């Protein structure tokens, strides 16, 4: 079983070494690839010096385009599963094997790592949880997928959806939309319990100021995806 | 429609058409994208050539003055052009994204080949 861990990194020089060390220590059986999305700090230099397996994007594509290059890499190199984890150390790679197990057991196409199942670890602020609940309800209404932690960037996709994402993946704030895309295309999305940590260094890509924009953009994207989706056509 | 207005509109359209041709000749304009601009010039020319038509149309659509009908036509065309430009920009965005991703993947392969030597 070939598994690739995709780590999008934009200005993650404070975290990237810890994230990779964590992976090398806890899941040495998996391959990984760091996607340096044209960081303005020395993320690329760190990758080069430590001889990490990494991709260097020459222009900033944002999280969607960055992660998508990881899926293209996974597709071209014939991986069975691609795991997405954040470059800031929020996601514990120890959970990856459990996520893959659940995905296989449930015969699903994508597993989302959810912090709201066991309700342990970092739970995010009240306002954010309210927003996440709203999006979760919206997604359930639009496509029937029952996912609580819809914004979680910790997820596993199987071979079929590696190929799908390598062709089609939303540009910014792609996580909730990807759940809708997979479900509408006949895929099955399940949730796997994980414990998340609070980010240790650097800044989150979503500042409180952007939260409103985030909610409007993502809600619209989900609705538009549903409205413009051509059923049956691949 | 007054003669003065017709002549000034005609001059404006002429300048506009010449500009398009100059840009086309300098190849700074793709023919495909210039078609909408040309079509716009033709419609405006018809409006100047047949003022009675404009006055008739203004009355039909309930516009008090024919000059407002001309403005409406202009605004409509500009909207159309902006939508077209957005669609072109989106398409280019997609293409550039694919290019950047492929350059990164190729770069990686080149580096790997270099290191194997």
For residue A55, give the nearest of B96, B97, B105 by CB distance.
Answer: B105
Strand partners, A112: A155, A191
In a domain, residue B112? The reply is: no
Q: Which of B100, B102, B110, B114 should one mutate to test binding to chain A, selecting the residue with the greatest count of A CBs within 10 A?
A: B100
Nearest CA in chain B to A75: B105
| pLDDT in the model for residue B6 | 86
Chain A contacts of B107, Cβ < 8 Å? 55-56
| pLDDT in the model for residue A185 | 94
Torsion, Cα of A91, A49, A29, A182 (10° steps): 50
In a domain, residue B66? The reply is: yes
How close B82 gets to chain A, by Cα (Å)?
Answer: 21
Q: Does B105 touch chain A (CB under 8 A)?
A: yes
Range of the domain at B17: 3-92
Chain A contacts of B103, Cβ < 8 Å? 58
Q: Does B60 touch chain A (CB under 8 A)?
A: no
| pLDDT in the model for residue A199 | 67
| pLDDT in the model for residue A204 | 59
The answer to whether the Cβ–Cβ distance between B107 and A76 falls below 8 Å is: no
Count structural domains, chain B. Answer: 1
| pLDDT in the model for residue A202 | 56
In a domain, residue B105? The reply is: no
Rounded-to-integer distance, Cα A219 and Cα A213, Å? 10
Chain A contacts of B92, Cβ < 8 Å? none
In a domain, residue B51? The reply is: yes
Q: What is the pLDDT of residues B74-116, one digit of tens each?
A: 898 899 889 989 999 999 999 999 999 999 999 999 999 998 8
The answer to whether the Cβ–Cβ distance between B96 and A59 falls below 8 Å is: yes
In a domain, residue B107? The reply is: no
| pLDDT in the model for residue A232 | 54
Q: What is the pLDDT of residues A35-84, one digit of tens each?
A: 999 999 999 999 999 999 999 999 999 999 999 999 999 999 999 999 99
In a domain, residue B77? The reply is: yes
- Tokens 């840009």 locate to B23
ipTM higher than threshold 0.90: no
| pLDDT in the model for residue A178 | 95
Q: Tell me whether residue B38 is exposed, middle or buried, using C-beta atoms within 10 angstroms of its C-beta: 0 to 12, 13 to 18, 19 or more.
A: middle
Domains and CATH numbers, chain A: 3-228 (3.90.550.10)
Tell me the torsion sign for CA atoms B59, B62, B64, B65: negative
| pLDDT in the model for residue A234 | 42
The answer to whether the Cβ–Cβ distance between B101 and A59 falls below 8 Å is: no
Nearest CA in chain A to B102: A69
- Tokens 């609705």 locate to A223
In a domain, residue B100? The reply is: no
The answer to whether the Cβ–Cβ distance between B104 and A65 falls below 8 Å is: no
Chain A contacts of B104, Cβ < 8 Å? 55-58, 69
Residue B28 pLDDT exceeds 50: yes
In a domain, residue B28? The reply is: yes
Nearest CA in chain A to B110: A55
Q: Which of B90, B97, B109 should one mutate to test binding to chain A, selecting the residue with the greatest count of A CBs within 10 A?
A: B97
Task: Give the DSSP H or E segment for B38.
Answer: helix B31-49
Tell me the torsion sign for CA atoms B8, B11, B17, B21: negative
The answer to whether the Cβ–Cβ distance between B97 and A61 falls below 8 Å is: yes
| pLDDT in the model for residue B98 | 96
Chain B contacts of A68, Cβ < 8 Å? 97, 101
The answer to whether the Cβ–Cβ distance between A65 and B100 falls below 8 Å is: yes
Mean pLDDT of B17-38: 84
CB contacts < 8 A, A to B, total: 32
- Residue segments in chain A with a per-residue pLDDT below the cut of 50: 233-234
Residue B72 pLDDT exceeds 50: yes
Tell me the torsion sign for CA atoms A56, A156, A4, A19: positive
How close B96 gets to chain A, by Cα (Å)?
Answer: 10
């Amino acid at each position: 079983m070939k598994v690739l861990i995709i780590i999008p990194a934009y200005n993650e020089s404070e975290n990237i070494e810890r994230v990779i060390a964590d992976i090398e220590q806890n899941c040495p059986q998996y391959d990984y690839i760091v996607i340096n999305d044209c960081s303005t700090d020395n993320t690329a230099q760190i990758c080069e010096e430590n001889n990490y397996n990494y991709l260097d994007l020459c222009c900033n594509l944002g999280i969607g385009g960055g992660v998508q290059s990881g899926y293209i890499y996974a597709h071209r190199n014939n991986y069975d599963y691609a795991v997405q984890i954040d470059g800031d150390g929020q996601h514990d790679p120890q959970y990856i094997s459990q996520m893959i197990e659940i995905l296989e057991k449930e015969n699903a196409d994508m597993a989302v790592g959810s912090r709201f199942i066991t309700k342990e670890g970092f739970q995010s602020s009240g306002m954010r949880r309210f927003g996440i609940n709203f999006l979760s309800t919206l997604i359930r209404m639009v496509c029937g997928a029952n996912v609580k932690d819809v914004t979680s960037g910790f997820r596993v996709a199987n071979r079929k959806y590696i190929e799908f994402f390598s062709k089609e993946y939303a540009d910014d704030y792609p996580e909730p939309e990807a759940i809708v895309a997979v479900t509408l295309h006949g895929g099955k999305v399940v949730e796997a319990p994980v414990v998340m940590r609070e980010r240790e260094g650097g800044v989150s890509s979503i500042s409180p100021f952007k939260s409103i924009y985030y909610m409007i953009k993502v809600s619209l994207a989900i609705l538009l995806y549903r409205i413009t989706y051509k059923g049956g056509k691949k | 429609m007054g003669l003065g207005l017709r002549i000034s509109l005609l001059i404006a359209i002429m300048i506009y058409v010449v500009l398009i041709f100059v840009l086309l000749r300098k190849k700074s304009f793709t023919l495909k994208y210039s078609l909408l601009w040309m079509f716009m010039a033709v419609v405006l020319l018809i409006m100047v050539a047949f003022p009675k038509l404009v006055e008739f149309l203004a009355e039909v659509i309930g516009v008090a003055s024919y000059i407002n009908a001309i403005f409406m036509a202009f605004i409509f065309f500009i909207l159309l052009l902006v939508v077209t430009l957005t669609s072109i920009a989106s398409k280019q965005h997609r293409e550039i994204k694919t290019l950047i991703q492929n350059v990164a993947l190729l770069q990686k392969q080149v580096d790997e080949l270099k290191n194997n030597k």
